[in-house]
Amino acid sequence: MEYRTLGNTDLQLSAITYGAFAIGGNMWGGNEKKDSIAAVQASLDNGVTSIDTAPFYGFGLSEELIGAAIKGRDRSKVQLLTKFGLVWDGSNQAKGEYFFDASENGKTIPVYKLASKANIIRELEASLKRLGTDYIDLLQLHWPDATTPVEETMEALNTLISQGKIRAAGVSNYDLALMKAAGKTIRLASNQLAYSMLNRSIEKDIVPYAIEHQIGIIAYSPLERGLLTGKYFRDAALKADDHRNGYFGQFSADKVKTFLDSITPLAESKKASLSQLVLRWTTLQPGITIVLAGARNAAQAEQNAQAMNLELKAEELGFINKELEKVYRETAV
């Protein structure tokens, strides 16, 4: 495994970081708790020392499962990345910005964005309890909240850093203008953004800005929620309540399949899976600090970690990029 410094901080994070959205279950067709805990532990056992989660993932369940998985381990050797800013329990919704309707067990649950100082403190304390720790390595605003001034949010994060409750502060899904606004109050450690072979829009302005200002980029959905593994072109089926039934529709399936078919021989020549090849390509892109990869069981987690063992020569990267160029313009979002 390779470990990288996050932005201007002293945090050393694993280049492949465990992404814990799916183990929360909601929007992903459920989960098996035992398998989820095993996936986190297998990640740690294979050099993936960093775990990214959020209170919203499973309405607290993801954080609880991670807390169970790391219990008894040396906390100093695990980096916990979590978020704040999405509320669903009704206590603060009137103060926030309506986002969307989630569901759990057939029940509709309105989700709001709220990044006020009071809510940050409330959410952090709940996350610390669920994770079974007394500090968070990286606390991130999950989504921008138009109802709260950027300065208020960033000042609260500065306070939490000074109190030792968090080691560093970042944002997620921030555009360039918001990054610049935040930078007037805090020195951001990172911005977590959607980035994949099929979604490279941040390369235009956000990545150059991040490189110039020493801000880490955390790439989420590098496998496009499983689409780039290739298995959904074979025999994998999605459950009815899996959000990917609609998500995959934004891409040209035929073109994505053609692209994956073109790079499959390269993966096979290296005794690697398509997902490993895609993950490794992503870690090698300019400005990308770490890449999130989810896993529902130990086998998937081990495979993700081993992606970093894959060596790609300049000409091989060139080949992938050439094949990708044939489909990217029509599949990018």
- pLDDT above 70 (res 247): no
**pLDDT tens digits, one per residue of 83-133:** 999 998 765 555 789 998 887 777 888 899 999 999 999 999 999 999 999
Q: Provide the H-helix boundaries in 213-252.
A: 244-247
What pLDDT sits at residue 208? 98
> What is the pLDDT averaged over residues 141-147?
96
Q: Which pair of structure tokens corresponds to residue 161?
A: 């850093």
What pLDDT sits at residue 232? 64
Local structure of residue 231 (DSSP, 8 states): G
Residue 34 domain flag: yes
The structure tokens 């606004």 sit at 181
Distance CA 304, CA 48 (A): 9
What pLDDT sits at residue 157? 98
Distance CA 318, CA 312 (A): 10
Distance CA 112, CA 97 (A): 5
CATH number of domain containing 35: 3.20.20.100
**Could you tell me if 225 and 244 are in contact, meaning their C-beta atoms sit under 8 angstroms apart?**
yes
More confident residue, 296 or 132: 132
**pLDDT tens digits, one per residue of 26-55:** 554 556 789 899 999 999 999 999 999 999
- What residues are labeled active site? 57
> What is the pLDDT averaged over residues 298-316?
96
**pLDDT tens digits, one per residue of 213-230:** 999 999 999 998 778 887
Beta bridge partners of 52: 19, 81
CB atoms within 10 A of CB 280: 24
**pLDDT tens digits, one per residue of 150-203:** 999 999 999 999 999 999 999 999 999 999 999 999 999 999 999 999 999 999
Residue 263 domain flag: no
pLDDT band at 332 (very low <50, low <70, confident <90, very high): very low
Q: Which of 214, 85, 83, 221 is nearest to 146 (CA)?
A: 85
What pLDDT sits at residue 333? 39
User: Under 8 Å CB-to-CB from 105, ≥6 apart: which residues?
Assistant: none
User: Under 8 Å CB-to-CB from 152, ≥6 apart: which residues?
Assistant: 115, 116, 117
Residue 325 domain flag: no
Residue 316 domain flag: no
Distance CA 283, CA 61 (A): 28
Residue 241 domain flag: no
What pLDDT sits at residue 257? 85
Please classify residue 333 by burial: count the beta carbons closer than 10 Å to its beta carbon, then call 0-12 exposed, 13-18 middle and 19+ buried: exposed
153: amino acid identity, one letter: T
**pLDDT tens digits, one per residue of 51-83:** 999 999 989 999 999 999 999 999 999 999 999
C-alpha pair distances (Å), 248 with each of 67, 223, 243:
31, 12, 9
- pLDDT above 80 (res 17): yes
What pLDDT sits at residue 241? 56
Radius of gyration of the chain, Cα coordinates, nearest whole angstrom: 19
- Domains contained in the chain, number: 1
- From first CA to last CA, the distance across the chain in angstroms is 31
Give exposure, 47-56, as e/b (b: 16+ Cβ within 10 Å). Answer: bbbbbbbbbb
Q: What is the mean pLDDT of the chain?
A: 90
Helix axes 314-331, 253-269, angle to 10 degrees: 170
Q: What domain range is 94 assigned to?
A: 3-226+278-311
Distance CA 302, CA 297 (A): 9
> What is the pLDDT averaged over residues 291-311?
95
Residue 322 domain flag: no
More confident residue, 133 or 246: 133
What pLDDT sits at residue 253? 76
Distance CA 139, CA 119 (A): 13
Residue 195 domain flag: yes
What pLDDT sits at residue 30? 53
Residue 190 domain flag: yes
**Could you tell me if 63 and 71 are in contact, meaning their C-beta atoms sit under 8 angstroms apart?**
no
